[in-house]
Amino acid sequence: MIKRTLHFGNPTYLNTRNEQLVVNYPEKDSVSKTVPIEDLGVIVLEHAQITISNALMSKLMLNNVVVVHCNPQHMPQSMTLSLYGHSEFNERIRQQLTASVPLKKNLWQQTVERKITNQLAYLRSTGYATKKELDKLTDLSRTVLSGDTQNNEGQAAAIYWNTIFGIEGFTRGRKEGTPNNLLNYGYAILRAVCARAIVGSGLLPGYGIFHANKYNAYCLADDIMEPYRPYVDTVVGDLVKEGAVQSDLTPELKRRLLMIPALDVVIEGKKSPLLVAMSRTTSSLSDCFAGISRKINYPDYGSGSVQSA
């Protein structure tokens, strides 16, 4: 069963009773609501006057629920994860930390290849890119070297962001104009889903295969989420087509972006919600560190349509 994503954007009291998340509102005569904790995957807290009990946080962490905290500008700022989420945690992180450099370079090569392939598939579906641009992306996806030493990822990004939404002069950046705000919000949700899956597979989200910024606590999440980014781009692209993009993130825009974990994606011919697929990806990564496999199971955007709500 797909785990649920809950968003709280008003003053709320969150606690627990009988393995349920209990939601209470400060208004008089308000009725409490309950949700089984085992059904939850992601919780987004977006108001300064939300109170959450320690007992509830403990149960959320026990069930590997990731809690995303937003800043005063209503953008995801940080997340709370369980310290460990697998019975073989010590063994698995030992394998992760001792992985050889050639293995990590090969894993990054696979990651970049699939990222570019998925970007190419999405651009084809939009009709915004020229044949020359699509041919160049095809060539870049097929010529990624171990460790991506020729920076095919960066070359592909230059083409991708220039054509992705059909917006003349669009520039991708965290502080640039809309629809970058939608992308930032969507990627933050995707990052939380990825970090949750990494912990559930017994790995450390801070120790990457390519990203290695000493100030980044989620280097591995930033590695593994790369081929999944076009699914976020799809949701944002649909909103752009609908003319729904604006500088303020309305509740409806957030609702659409919070559906990202439930998007249908395809891995090796099998369709599943993105949140479930991410766990398949991180499990296969753990197998690579253990020497059981040398292939990461990433989604194939071209194998099926993305269904956004």
- Per residue in 129-168, pLDDT (tens digit) is 999 999 999 999 999 999 999 999 999 999 999 999 988 8
Looking at the structure, do residues 153 and 52 belong to the same domain, yes or no?
no
Looking at the structure, do residues 74 and 94 belong to the same domain, yes or no?
no
What backbone torsions phi and psi does residue 226 show, to the nearest 5 degrees?
-55, -50
pLDDT at 245 over 90: no
Q: Which of 19, 46, 80 is the last residue of a domain?
A: 80
The alpha-carbon radius of gyration of the chain (Å, integer) is 20
- Is residue 285 within 8 A of residue 107, CB to CB? The reply is yes
pLDDT at 69 over 60: yes
Q: Which of 40, 56, 80 is the last residue of a domain?
A: 80
Asked if residue 114 belongs to a domain, the reply is: yes
How much is the pLDDT for 309? 44
Annotated binding-site residue? 153: yes
Looking at the structure, do residues 42 and 158 belong to the same domain, yes or no?
no
pLDDT at 224 over 80: yes
The CATH number given to whatever domain includes residue 69 is 3.100.10.20
Q: Which of 80, 113, 142 is the last residue of a domain?
A: 80
Asked if residue 59 belongs to a domain, the reply is: yes
pLDDT, one tens digit per residue, over 168-217 is 888 898 888 889 999 999 999 999 999 999 999 999 999 999 999 888 88
- pTM beyond 0.95, yes or no: no
How much is the pLDDT for 1? 65
Looking at the structure, do residues 16 and 114 belong to the same domain, yes or no?
no
What range does the domain containing 202 cover?
89-303
- Per-residue confidence band for 107, with pLDDT thresholds at 50, 70 and 90: very high
How much is the pLDDT for 302? 84
pLDDT at 122 over 60: yes
Average pLDDT, the chain: 93
Instruction: State how far the Cα of 106 lies from the Cα of 111, in Å rounded to an integer.
Output: 9
- Is residue 198 within 8 A of residue 283, CB to CB? The reply is no
The full length of the chain comes to 309
Annotated binding-site residue? 211: yes
pLDDT, one tens digit per residue, over 248-274 is 889 999 999 999 999 999 999 999 999
Asked if residue 308 belongs to a domain, the reply is: no
Looking at the structure, do residues 38 and 155 belong to the same domain, yes or no?
no
- Per-residue confidence band for 305, with pLDDT thresholds at 50, 70 and 90: low
* Number of domains the chain contains: 2
